[in-house]
Structure 1
Amino acid sequence: MPDTLIVNARLVNEGREFDGDLRISGDRIAGIGSGLSARGGETVIDANGRRLLPGMIDDQVHFREPGLEYKADIATESAAAVAGGLTSFMDMPNTRPPTLDAGALEDKYRRAAGRSRANFGFYMGASNDNLDAIRAIDPRATPGVKVFMGASTGNMLVDDPQVLDGIFRESPVTIITHCEDTPMIDANVAAFQAKYGDDIPVECHPDIRSREACIKSTRLAISLARRHDSRLHVLHISTADELALFERGPLIRADGSRKRITAETCVHFTRFDRGDYARLGNLIKCNPAIKDASDREAIIAALADDVLDVLATDHAPHTLEEKAKPYAQAPSGLPLVQYALVAALELVHEGKLSTTQVVQKFAHAPAQLFDVAERGFLREGNFADLVLIDDTPFTVRREDVLSKCAWSPFEGTTFHSRIASTWVNGQLAWDGSKLVGEPVGSRLAFAR
């Protein structure tokens, strides 16, 4: 492939926005500067002042492979991801079979090789009976171990106190948690069934998957992490109440140390609230639940204040047929990767975040938290994972959705920025209107 020179860009990186040029040579960023001169045979792209960002790293997706490929697979969802400016992803273990040992983990890496358009990492999962497999994890093989401390599918609800204690005591990698208290949720379900029978309104979802269930489980995870000095990352914070449990301040402190306990939220918690159930129903049913407008505003403020460290998607597609079922039978989760970055950039247009903050939460922080080697930043020598932003409005249409489920909760929404180009490992993967070339996603390396 010929080298590429991007000129007249507005580069956004490590807390700064500055005008400059960037050269791609092979799969790497070969130069960053001002007034870089084109070389013979080099492709020159004039950014015309548009923002050039490091490719986003989504540390929380469910691409459904293996076992649920009728909903989604690595090929289709990674295509949607690069169309959305997400150049790397970390996939969850609740597949069929679940990723509960080294063999299942490597099987997923084999499946992604040559098929994924984005770079890929896969989590090991925890269950009540795989503590030996967790002890044996190679830290270079996975970003972390996922613990469902709440309702989940298959054999992945960890509710044995001794096993939980053992995971937090002995895991050689970061522990990431889904925090909801199952007994509280089960009691809420029973109460709402007694009131509504089989016709529970979807508007009750945030009361069934209640804030109290989130708070109780999050407190438990934090107490275990403090007891054992574990590296804990709490996923998809959905309530204002939980924010007080986390440390305010930059992920990397002034002395170079990192927070030991970190938290993230997801794009849908910044764009939707309880009032949207009347319009979207099961399409925004997810776990934990989208809650009140006051929670949404508090979450956005916590991103700006460095209480929440990471912004992710929790991309979890289901078919429209599944979502059309009554509330109790409709599965939880929604597809998000294709429009997550432009949805986050709406917060910039609204004056609630800066572009540098979006890049910190969606690119730098995941790379730092999970020790992702040579990605997540615009740095000479890093892999050339890049996204060019065009501040031209567009409206989301169902026919443009690339996820296999073929729908988006953002249909009909007008965003004020679009993805003009995405490069993965130095190669153009999305040209603003279509996918380009063959899949070139690589296995993520964890520098541990």
Structure 2
Amino acid sequence: MSVDELKASSVQTPAQVRRVVLAGGLGTLIEYYDYALYGYVATIIAPLFFPGQDPVASLLSVLLVFALSYVVRPVGGIVFGWVGDRFGRKRALLVTVVGIGLANTAVGLLPTYATVGRLAPVLLLIVRIAQGFFAGGEVGGSATVIAEAAPPGKKARYGALTPMGTNAGFAVASAAIGIVSGLLATDQLNSWGWRIPFLVGLPLTVLCYLARRMLPDIDRNVTLGRHGFPLLSALRSYPRALLQAIALGIGVQGAAYIGSTFIGIYLVTNLHYPKTAVFWITAGVTLVAVALMPLTGRLADRIGPLKVAAIGLIGYAAITYPGLLLMNVGNLGLAALGYVLIMVNMAFLQVASYTLTPQLFPDSVRYTGTALATNLSVLIAGGTAPYIATWLVSRTHDLRSPYYFVATTCVIGLVALATLWRKWRQNFLLATNTANSAS
């Protein structure tokens, strides 16, 4: 991989760059608003769609649907990667955001088990799979177009908008369910109030669609249509880059999904903190990480994204266990502090990862390579994280057992960084010198 492949911005003016970055970030916000929302209401909808005597079994069933929706994401990544690399990034990104938004709205309209019986969980699974398919082309596409639009020497600070969008989605979802749970009585929330945040996602989708319709010509300097099916070219010509991106992604997603999805469930179900307070703590903690991302983006442009990624991975491995211990003290303030200490690492790791991954591939297969690697890593370590963590706690009766999952994924991510180090250092120094000369 040569940094020369990303020198030429796909847009011409700073204003156009900002429009591309904003549209990309909004799309990932919509995507992760839905995924987070489903995780946050898991304890509420579990008995509605999977009624039974054992509440843990019902919760595991809902989380299994959550995990299964990730199985189809690589398929979506392949399909929309093909569209983006062959016919244009803009076309792919418009379709994905509409599909995600409609699927998100559909969840809020689904009948429950009490109304249609066994058809209810089937419909839930179908809608979640459809959402996973469209989501498969979203975050990888956003990272790709932002990397191509950003000027040399500023890839990470602009690239930060992708994880800022994903995590803002978590925060907005948490705030939405927090408002609803605070305004409604428990029986109202459990019977119909949980649907409201899903329906709110529709106007957010319309806003993002309009922002993307007004994008400049983001495909102007991109090589399109060189490969009939870019997946085959990526697998044949860039297998090492794919493996590196997947391994790094496993480190990112395993740690991030434990923090952003599982801990909210864990605080309510295992530690019995009040739901509304947990929703607001989750929103606040996530916004702290989002607020740090512009700073970590600038740091990555200065010292290199590999070093910043290493800070995040080592931080997760070192801090997650004591963070879980703080949560178990029985004090809500200390639980929030433990949560913050864990999630701060996300500001380092995700900014670096979404900057690194698109630059591992040439533009002719960049959308496909980025989307495929991102979705496979999410499938392996992200979508499964809440289920595995809940299962570990239920089987071992050790409230800190999810840490071992986090530590394992962090080691995999660090191995990926080690394989990238020598070549990336050469390219980073070249890119820095080029940016300094241009300024």
Q: TM-score range by the shorter chain?
A: under 0.3
- Report the TM-score when normalising by structure 1: 0.27
- Report the TM-score when normalising by structure 2: 0.28
Structure number with higher relative contact order (C-alpha < 8 Å, ≥ 6 residues apart): 2
